[in-house]
């Protein structure tokens, strides 16, 4: 098994271009997997693949927002459901 250098939240934020509160929101929404290692209450380490996952979430979020913008009264819960489904579908390895 190959050792990979895990990332702290600050490194994840810097490499993804997203602020830490946004990443934490994505974690709560289930759009980003839980940390690979948690060493304390406020310290966690993330796999480097999380950077690409975050970039994907951001791209898909913009796409879903653009597509659903005309249907804004439908509600944010539909946007969240679409985004979660897209992230899951795009993050799955191709067979």
Cβ neighbour number for residue 40 with a 10 Å cutoff: 6
DSSP 79-91: HHHHHHHHHHHHH
Give the per-residue pLDDT at 78.
57
Q: How far is CA 90 from CA 3, 6, 22, 34, 59, in A?
A: 25, 23, 20, 18, 11
> Using a CB cutoff of 8 Å and minimum separation of 24, what contacts does 7-12 make?
7/45, 7/46, 7/47, 7/48, 7/50, 7/51, 8/43, 8/44, 8/45, 8/46, 9/44, 9/46, 12/46, 12/50, 12/51, 12/54
Give the per-residue pLDDT at 1.
44
For residues 93 and 26, the model is more confident at 26
Q: Tens of pLDDT along 46-72?
A: 999 999 999 988 888 887 766 666 555
């Amino acid at each position: 098994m190959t050792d990979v250098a895990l990332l702290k939240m600050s490194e994840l934020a810097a490499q993804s271009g997203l602020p830490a509160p946004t990443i934490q929101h994505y974690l709560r929404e289930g759009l980003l997997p839980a940390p690979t290692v948690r060493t304390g209450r406020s310290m966690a380490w993330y796999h480097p693949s999380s950077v690409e996952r975050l970039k994907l979430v951001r791209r898909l979020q913009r796409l879903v927002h653009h597509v659903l913008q005309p249907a804004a009264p439908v509600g944010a819960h539909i946007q969240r459901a679409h985004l979660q489904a897209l992230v899951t579908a795009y993050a799955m390895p191709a067979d």
